[in-house]
Structure 1
């Protein structure tokens, strides 16, 4: 059999599918499929035939020269062809089909074991056949069906999956050089696998078909219902009461170490769940707190907010804080403990509540306090203004020191008292330059103690006034 046209195609520039990555609406990257070069059985070549060779003897050196990660288990010469040599003259070359112990089989042109041309995988040749009925195909038993090699690879990501169908979606032309495959399993949902092109070393990655929903790489072997069914264990880990009605891919974490999926539930309201790269559950995000992820699409915003407020009310109550949550916002997340730093607005707490609240599934401790205490460190309260806090302290010092004419102009929040939980230590600076170190009661209704700056300084107390000019009232020694 003479295969001159196949050899020419194998040597043509742009052997991979023209498929540069493009970002989808949900952050995934897709190779865009294209037709690829024609591969046909060709006419007889004019140059003299090469002597017969033992393909299995040459196969190890061929794969080494091509730098393909392949342990040959079978090989054959499928024909000879004529190609352009380095000197511009025609030269003869053997066409080899090689089967590997692991990984895809392939066909390549090799004038010699130390001179090989870029290979075509058996899977790629099947894709060519979709457009060109007489395209050359792999025939070694070990390469049939052409997707046989995928089963052990896929099972690392989808345990128990026996691949019964696969197709090449596309390939990248820039690093990392991968071929993207869709696969179907005998039972359950299939998925998408990114696998290094022949002779390349890119990491193998599995992706759920939902990631490509609505894109050029959309799955065709797996239905939406199958995908939802496969994700139900993830939803159950986040909320066992959720009867899943819909699911979608939301995005990839900023560190590329997990995937966000939104779930719609018959009851209660839906949520977004974070899955680790292996598909295991990491944590969930309430729809009311998911604006940073683009929000939820399956749950009404008002329903989500009401459900989240009720949930947070219960969390705070269980930790001794009376707060009928009307609104809340999450300022950040402590990843090490899976706790959100959340601020709450509720009628029972005029000075707000803010602090660490564990996410569902976290065993972290709840630790919240009012915005007075927040001012001693993070200063992240937004629902209660610092000026409102200072005005309250102004009222309290006027009660505690009624004859000192202290109009508070500045406050330095020091921290929590070591003797009493939630009791606040602060420095107050008065317009008339009187100043005090004060201890405010946990309920914020009284100043328990007020030490003038002059006394703190003269008695060399541990806490001293630090606000510039504080405690320099000219008659302080007589009045205090």
Structure 2
């Protein structure tokens, strides 16, 4: 999902810059035992005078509330500052003549190096005492509820800054935002589970087992009576996270969790979960699918579409009370799209399915031509054997199919009512009459002169 390795190399270099400030240029505040280091009044005066313009030029999202001058490296032509910001996250800044300012979030510049010591750009202003709290607005903007317990800087590249946050309860996230940090820029907050443990970009403040504890909470909300034998993370989309559970009784489910709120969305039996990251791997999905195919055979027959289901595929739906399933029938070239609820069901053949917003993948397009030819006969057009077809448009109540004839003569447009599982064609138009529908006929033998 993410180009992790190349990015991580850039981060290491960025963090090193903050550490390698020459010690000789640093004006260290005086420390008193048991008290925070006192900020030199002159350093603060110089900082408040010079730093705001530098921060503004950097593009960082910061209204300076406090600042201090850290020091100057005359040989390198560099001046160093720390600023605290009304927005929360403060920065360490490097200003060089004839060069764009460099800024580092305090969470990054204050992070200890491999030797356990912080570098010369560590933030010391009172307003930066809890720099990790400055990530809260970014986490919120990323659409995630997290009571932040701990934070860590991963680093900054040329375009992005990356951080880790650990939340109370065990969940954790990688926060990605623009560099320099600016709350008005883009923000993405992704679950730690998206990243491999031990990778250059990974979560270190929480462990994977703790992160998976959320599955126990989802299991309680699912109401499927599953005593969990095993569990695993599958994948995340922009809006949802997916986890697999294997139950002691041999059953298995995929739990869908709403990413923004962490709330349980739905439980998908393993027999229906093939569309989620390849489906279940911890239970006998083949046996479950065979059993489910028999169940769909009964439902389809009850809905007036006799079908000994050989193969089925789940289509995504935002309605947890509805299943949308493509069916392939044994010893038949004709399949369909079924819409099942707890109380009823309907099955669209592949022509009318597409009119209603679904597309068959198991059934070849030309297997539908016989049905369309038969519908033409109903309008006394017996000379046209359909050789091609396409959906050309729809109104709120009617969908239109353009058909071409095998004899090469001009074809026709058939209109069907929407929402009906086995509709009879209700309208019959020539391509001239259908010019105003979805741009008119476009199949090669049907093109009309303007």
Same fold (TM over 0.5): yes
TM-score (norm 2): 0.61
Distance 1:153 1:383, change over 3 A: closer
Shift of 1:182: 1.3
* Change in 2 beyond 3 A, CA 1:228/1:464: closer
SS in 2 for 1:99: strand
Residue of structure 2 equivalent to 1:34: 12
Cα distance in 2 between the residues matched to 1:375 and 1:39: 63
User: How many Å apart are 1:380 and its aligned residue?
Assistant: 4.1
**Structure 1 residue 191: Cα displacement:** 1.9
- Show the counterpart of 1:159: 145
CA apart distance, 1:208: 0.7
- State the distance in 2 between where 1:103 and 1:195 align: 15
Q: Are the aligned partners of 2:146 and 2:168 in contact in 1 as well (CA < 8 Å)?
A: no
Q: Unpaired segments of 5 or more residues in structure 1?
A: 1-20, 46-50, 398-405, 414-426, 432-443, 445-461, 467-480
Within-5 A mapping of 1:315-394: 315-316=299-300, 319=303, 325-329=309-313, 342-345=325-328, 353-357=335-339, 366-369=345-348, 380=360, 382=362
- Counterpart among 66, 77, 83 of residue 69 in structure 2: 77
Are the counterparts in 2 of residues 65 and 115 from structure 1 also a CA contact under 8 Å? no
Number of aligned residue pairs: give it. 376
- What aligned pairs does 1:41-440 form with structure 2 within 5 A after superposition? 41-43=22-24, 54-55=45-46, 57-58=48-49, 59-78=51-70, 80-83=71-74, 93=79, 95-110=80-95, 117-127=101-111, 129-131=113-115, 133=117, 135-136=119-120, 137-154=122-139, 157-159=143-145, 161-163=147-149, 165-173=150-158, 175=159, 177-178=160-161, 180-198=162-180, 202-214=185-197, 215-232=199-216, 240-244=224-228, 245-252=230-237, 257-266=238-247, 268-271=251-254, 273=256, 275=258, 279=262, 287=270, 288=272, 290=274, 293-309=277-293, 312-313=296-297, 315-316=299-300, 319=303, 325-329=309-313, 342-345=325-328, 353-357=335-339, 366-369=345-348, 380=360, 382=362
Show CA shifts across 1:389-413 (max 9, x none).
969x99xx9xxxxxxxx9x987999
| Preserved CA contact (<8 Å) 2:366 2:388 | no
Describe the shift of the 1:162–1:369 C-alpha distance in structure 2 as closer, same or farther (beyond 3 A).
Answer: closer
What is the deviation of 1:258? 2.9
Secondary structure, in 3 states, of the residue corresponding to 1:182? strand
Q: CA-to-partner distance for each residue in 1:172-218, whole Å, 9 max, x for gaps?
A: 33x4x22x111223433222211333355531221111100344322
Structure 2 CA distance for aligned equivalents of residues 239 and 352 of structure 1: 37
Q: 1:104-148, CA deviations, whole angstroms, 9 ceiling, x for partnerless residues? A: 222224589x99731232222233533473622222222124323
Question: Residues 54, 170 of structure 1: CA spacing in aligned structure 2 closer, same or farther, 3 A cutoff?
Answer: closer
Q: Which has the larger radius of gyration?
A: 1
